[in-house]
Every structure is written in C-alpha cells, then in structure tokens.
Structure 1
Amino acid sequence: MKHNELETKNELQEKSLFDKTVGRRSFLQYAGAGAAGIALVAAGCKKDRGYENPMMGGATLDFKNDFGVLNYAYALEQLEAAFYVKVASAPPASFTAAQKAYFQDIQFHEIAHREFFKAALSTAAIGSLEVDFSSIDFTSSTSVLGTAMAFEDLGVAAYNGAGPRLKSATFLLLAGKIVSVEARHAAYVRDLISNGTFADLNSLAPLGANNAGGLDAALTPDKVLAIAGKYIKTKINVINL
C-alpha cells in the first residue's frame, strides 16, 4: 500500500473513531483498532527515528517529524493517567461523592488518551515511563487538587505548544480534540479549588497565557518536560527540537 493511501485510510479511521458517541469503557475497547492506520505508518517509519537509543538510555523523543510529537503526547498522557488512576483508586477521605465520580471520569479520559497513542504508535512508541509521585500527599485533597491543576494546566500548554510542529491535518485535529478535553479538566479542578476561577488566565501567564487576548497557555516541549521531569524517573532524551 502506498504512503498516500495509508494517510487516506488513517484519516477515515480517525474520523470514525472520534466522531462516534460511545461510553468511556467502550472507547477503551476499540481505540486500538481505530488507531491501526497511524500504527501502519509509524511502524514503517521507525527505522529513521531512533526513539529507543541504547547509547543514550531511557526514552528518546525525536521531534524531526509528527511521530516525535505523538510520542511526546504519549509520554505526558502516561504521567496524567498514572496520577488519576492512583487518585481514583484511593481518593482523599475529604472528597465528596461528586468529586470521586468526576475524578473517576477524568481517570478514564486519561487512560483512553494514553492507550490511543500507545496503539497508534505501535512498535514506534516509547516504552512505559516510571513515575515519581513522592512529592504528592494522596491523602490530602489540597495536595491532590493542586497537583491535578498543575498537570492539567501543563497539559493544555503542552498540546498548544506542540501543535505548530504537526504537519498532518489529521494529527492536528486529534490534538485539538484532546486538548479541549484537557482544558475541561483544568476548568473543573480550578473551580473545585476556588469557585469561579475556571477561566482565570492571569494565573496562567507564566505558562504563556494572554488574558487580554483571551488566549490560553502554550509552552515548547523542552519547557514542558523540564517542569514534568519532577514526576518522571525515566530519563527522557530530546533530539531535533
């Protein structure tokens, strides 16, 4: 099959996957099949990307093409999913029933994002990252909510900052659909911490938000990884940035 035919097949599969209305668990069941188009292209391009370089150790993100950006997103979704799985499995005692339910929903969103990228990248995906949550007190609602806000705000800034690096319209659409969900999470968590602050862009100025222009935050991958690195034990190498 020619490369352009693979791209056409990929676009049709992605449209089918993300336009369907399904439950969160159903999404997890068929996300791998829907990602097959991307996986075919990714597997075919693996040899010249060097995501796993034994000389460097750890995981390598090669930003010379779109698949480097997808692996970058996959790394961040691994971090978020790991955090929410831990919170949802043992939420702080002070969490209300509504808060527990919302964090369960966010958990399934992040798992879906992680598993989609994993299936889409197939053999071209970086490995599973080892996280470090030792600085988080999972028994404290203040600590959990503060970390959730930091992760979601950073996630939005990461997708916005990586968007210009994507050449494929299909991948850009995918990123837009995911970042809008991350922004919903960020707004919800912010409101839990302080009611009415869901749209506060002034506090996001350090991440690149522009309140006067009504523009959300955007950070380049190197800046995002420097912040997220506190929670990731696995060494992440960045090349061709």
Structure 2
Amino acid sequence: MLEGFLGTGIFNSDGETWKLHRSMARPFFDRERVVNQSHFERHTGRLKSLLGVLSDKDDSSFDIQDLFSRYTLDFTMAFLFGLDSRTMVPPHSITKESEKLMFAFDTLRKAASTRIRIGSNWPLFELFSDRMKDSRRTVDAYIMPIVNEAIERNQSIAQGDDDATRTFLEYLVTVSNDPKLIRDTLVSFLLAGRDTSASLLTFTIYVLALYPDTYDQLSKEINSIVNDDRPCTFEEIKSMRYLITS
C-alpha cells in the first residue's frame, strides 16, 4: 500500500526488516545530538522573521500550517542531508528542486492517506494510473544522487570528519552501502520530521487559540526563564513545569 512512498522503511515494515532499520538509526540519536539545538537556530530565526512580516500586513491572516510545513522541511533536510532547502526565504530564492520536492512529498502523503482510508481495495481506484508513481520519481530524482554521492565519498568522511558533526546521511553510509535501504530510511525520517512535527506545531497553535489563559500562563513561564532573544537550552525546557504538564 505504501511501498511506492516509503519503500521498506521503518514505518512500512515489520519483523527483521523493522529491526534492521531500528538498529541502524538508533545509535545516531544519542542524547548529546538530541539536545543540541544548533541545527534548529537558523531555520527558527527565519520562521520568526517571516512571522513578523506576515503579522505586520494589513490582512494578517495567513496559513500557519503551510508555514510550519516549510519550517519543518527546512530543518529536517538540514539534519538529515546537511542541505538548505530554503522554503521560507523569498520565492525567487527557493530552488526549483526544493519546490518540486515539497510538492511531490505532499502529493505522496495525500495519496498514502487516501489509500489508507480506502483500505485493501485501493488498487481498484488506481487501475489505470498509480497516484504515487510520478511523485516517487521526483523524490528519488532529488534524493538518490545525494545518497550515491555520500556512499562514494564515505571513505574520506569516515577518516576525516568528527562524528558529532555528521548528518544522518553521512552516518548511514558508514553502516550500509545499499542505496535503496538508505533512501527508504531517509524518506521515513523525512516524513516523521516534516509532517508529524508540522502537524504537532499547527495543532498546538490551534489549541492555544482556544485557551488564551493557558497561552498567557505558558508565555509568562517561558519569559521568566528565557527573557532575551537567545535560543533556550534543553535544560531550560526541562525546567518549564507548566509547559511539560500542559
């Protein structure tokens, strides 16, 4: 059902294949890397600037879900590939490749949701055309050259680069040289990092709009701990009791 999108990645496999994907990815996500906020800072700064510009317009209504989808795509691409997809910068600065990737990924996600809703009879609705085929080709045209290049230069990465600065892709090519396995792993994490995070952020804003008293209390707590323009640390987030229990 979802193989045209996720291949045999961790979200579309079970048994030994699922264990393989989990065992490959788990060592990369150690505590030091998870609590490191540096890979978010540039993209968070762009998000804040863009929110300021949009809020200052006479018609201050805008699609926050689209904005969060761009934000999460940018920092997920940076974390996974070390690339800047630049989807939050002015339109003339966005590369055509990034635009195509964003559109293709959304198309795949929607096609996957449709197949899941239909259930096991989904092939009957795609007898004459595979809804995922063209978008899968677009995603692979973007990702596979990057994967193959990383595999080719793996030897120099392994010898010269600090493990703490590696991207997820640079780590993966040290544990496997199978392009399809690496591709499926990356697409699965791209889905989790982009779509799941964007949905969470969007729903959080929606709920806070419904409960302004909760928003005020959260704002008060956050400002009391981080009262300047710097990014908050992981330890500071842990100390925000109201945030954690909300």
TM-score strictly above 0.5: no
Higher helix share: 2
Larger Rg: 2
Q: When the two structures are superposed, what TM-score results if normalisation uses the length of structure 2?
A: 0.30
